[in-house]
């Protein structure tokens, strides 16, 4: 019984870890898309505002804008890295928790191993009880059939 | 009546009981705690027990509990009896292990 519980917990933790990876990936994609949107939008605004200025001034401003955009992307990458690190920590924590749970499960399993006779007696008793119950149900059906 | 009681108290069986009191107490605790297993099983498998009405459901649980407890007592007796009877070999019912 304890092994089944371990399986369920392990699967749940795996699902959480996978979900966390998907969320990190989603955030990263959103940041990338936001960066692209800013880049496109900024270019449009730049051309609208400075379209009539000289080419030199245009190039200089464009350079500054690119620098700003690069900086923004860098910040975005740092955020992404931070999220990834945090995600890894969560995953590590999940792994630790999983180990602890598995360890606790093993203790229960060991206890069952130490007292296999008692576990077998319990299973045998439950099986016998279900047998008795099945017999009652069958007898009841027979009785009902006779009454009809 | 008292003569019979005195005879029982003075019998070898009584000595055996006194010698292995710890084992017997452990067996009694196991049997006493078995009701928790039964309750858990019934609550985890309600479909097996639900009948046409409350009375029928009660009877289902009662039959299951009585048969299971009887078997459990038999199994525990064999299990712990083996420890007590390590010196006195008495052939008897081996419980479920006899059929395996």
Is A72 found in the same domain as A109?
yes
CA distance, residue B54 to nearest chain A CA (Å): 15
Is A78 found in the same domain as A42?
yes
The most confident of A7-16, A44-53, A136-145, by mean pLDDT? A136-145
Mark A110-120 as b/e (b = at least 16 C-beta within 10 Å): eebeeeebbeb
pLDDT in tens, A34-81: 777 777 776 676 666 656 556 666 676 666 666 666 666 676 677 667
pLDDT score at A29: 76
Is A94 found in the same domain as A66?
yes
Structural domain boundaries enclosing A145: 116-148
Domain tally, chain B: 1
Is A68 found in the same domain as A17?
yes
Is A91 found in the same domain as A65?
yes
Is A120 found in the same domain as A50?
no
Q: What is the pTM assigned to this prediction?
A: 0.46
* Residues of A in Cβ contact (< 8 Å) with B75: 120-121, 124-125
Structural domain boundaries enclosing B84: 2-99
pLDDT in tens, B39-90: 989 988 888 888 888 888 999 999 999 999 999 999 888 887 777 665 555 5
* Residues of A in Cβ contact (< 8 Å) with B65: 129
Interface mutation target, options A125, A130, A140, chain B, most CBs of B under 10 Å: A125
- Separation of alpha carbons A24 and A84, rounded Å: 7
Q: Closest CB to B71: pick one of A117, A118, A125.
A: A125
Domain tally, chain A: 2
Chain A to chain B Cβ contacts (< 8 Å): 65
Tokens coding A144: 């009902």
Is A128 found in the same domain as A102?
no
Is A121 found in the same domain as A110?
no
More confidently predicted of A86 and B55: B55
- Is B67's CB within 8 Å of A117's CB? no
Q: Closest CB to B37: pick one of A122, A128, A136.
A: A122
pLDDT score at A70: 66
Chain A contacts to B (CB-CB under 8 A)? 117-118, 120-122, 124-133, 136-137
Report ipTM (2 d.p.). Answer: 0.71
pLDDT score at A40: 75
Q: Closest CB to A128: pick one of B30, B37, B68.
A: B68
CA distance, residue B14 to nearest chain A CA (Å): 25
Is A56 found in the same domain as A27?
yes
């Amino acid at each position: 019984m304890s092994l089944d519980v371990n399986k369920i917990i392990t699967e749940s933790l795996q699902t959480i870890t996978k979900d966390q990876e998907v969320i990190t990936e989603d955030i990263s994609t959103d940041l990338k898309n936001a960066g692209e949107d800013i880049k496109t939008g900024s270019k449009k605004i730049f051309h609208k505002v400075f379209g009539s200025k000289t080419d030199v001034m245009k190039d200089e401003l464009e350079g500054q804008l690119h620098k700003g955009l690069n900086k923004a992307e860098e910040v975005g990458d740092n955020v992404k890295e931070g999220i990834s690190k945090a995600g890894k920590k969560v995953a590590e924590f999940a792994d630790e928790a999983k180990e602890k749970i598995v360890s606790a499960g093993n203790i229960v399993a060991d206890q069952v191993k130490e007292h296999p006779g008692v576990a077998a007696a319990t299973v045998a008793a439950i099986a016998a009880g279900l047998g008795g119950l099945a017999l009652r149900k069958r007898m009841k059906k027979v009785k009902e059939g006779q009454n009809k | 009546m008292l003569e019979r009681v005195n005879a029982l108290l003075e019998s070898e069986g009584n000595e055996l009981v006194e010698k292995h009191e710890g084992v017997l107490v452990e067996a009694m605790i196991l049997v006493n705690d078995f009701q928790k297993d039964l309750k858990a099983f019934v609550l985890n498998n309600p479909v097996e027990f639900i009948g046409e009405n409350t009375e029928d459901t009660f009877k289902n649980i009662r039959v299951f509990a009585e048969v299971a407890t009887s078997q459990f007592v038999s199994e525990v007796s064999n299990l712990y009896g083996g420890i007590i009877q390590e010196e006195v070999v008495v052939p008897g019912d081996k419980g479920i292990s006899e059929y395996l």
